Amino acid sequence: MLRLPEIPLGLQYPTTKTSKQTSEDENLSIGKFGKMMLEMLPEDLAFTVFVPSEEAFERDLRLSSNESLVGKKMNDDTYAIMSRVLGFSAVPRRLASVNVPIDKELSYDSISGFVLYISKEEDGALTVNRVRSKRVDLRKKGSVVQIMDGVIMDAEFQQSVQPEDQD
């Protein structure tokens, strides 16, 4: 029987030195929107979720956690956007960065049927549909969370959330 190598948890890129992360630090890196995305998933099933960073939510979707959230609840528009982003960025299986070969592209269907093309760079960062990871292999509720420096979405949804002053 083969024994898989131990998976390092919570790697950041570029890596300068390793340190143990507390769950509070991990929650901060996942952010409020990322945490809400994970809460939408069933706890008894395994997923890999490519969660946009807080900066990516603000930059790409114009969502600010300060404006969109009242306490811990979302408004209806924010909930609709979050569930759509979750559909594009969640794969119904655990996929740690160690399972992605360097310079080889893998493809998986997200829960909405959107195809995700996943590759790993030499420094260990994952790239999914041309969006690079900021942090990989966080574990939450039995799922693997990859923090991305952008929002994974199809062209139609991207056009619907694009600012009016852009083409």
pLDDT tens digits for 36-49? 899 999 988 999 99
Per-residue pLDDT band at 86 (split at 50, 70, 90): very high
pLDDT at residue 108 above 70?
yes
Domain boundaries, the chain: 22-159
User: May I ask the CATH architecture of the domain 22-159?
Assistant: Roll (2.30)
What pLDDT does 41 receive? 92
The string of pLDDT tens digits covering residues 3-46 is: 544 444 555 544 333 334 444 454 447 888 999 899 999 988 99
Instruction: Band the pLDDT of 74: cuts 50, 70, 90.
Output: low
Mean pLDDT for 43-56 is 93
Q: Per DSSP, which regions of the chain are E strands?
A: 11-12, 48-52, 69-70, 73-74, 90-91, 106-109, 115-120, 126-128, 131-140, 143-148
In angstroms, the CA 27 to CA 66 distance is 16
Pairwise CA distance, residues 155 & 158, whole Å: 5
pLDDT of residue 20: 43
Q: What burial letters (b/e) apply to 82-118, b meaning 16+ CB within 10 Å?
A: bebbbbbbbbeeebbbeebeeeeeeeeebebebebeb
pLDDT at position 110 is: 96
> What are residue 60's phi and psi, to 5 degrees?
-90, -30
pLDDT for res 25:
52
What pLDDT score does 31 carry? 87
Q: Report how far residue 51's alpha carbon sits from residue 38's, in angstroms, rounded to the nearest whole number.
A: 9
Average pLDDT over residues 106-134: 96
Question: How many Cβ atoms sit within 10 Å of the Cβ of residue 80?
Answer: 11
Strands (E), 2-157: 11-12, 48-52, 69-70, 73-74, 90-91, 106-109, 115-120, 126-128, 131-140, 143-148
Rounded to 10°, the helix 76-89/23-39 angle is 100
CA dist., res. 107 & res. 6, Å (int): 24
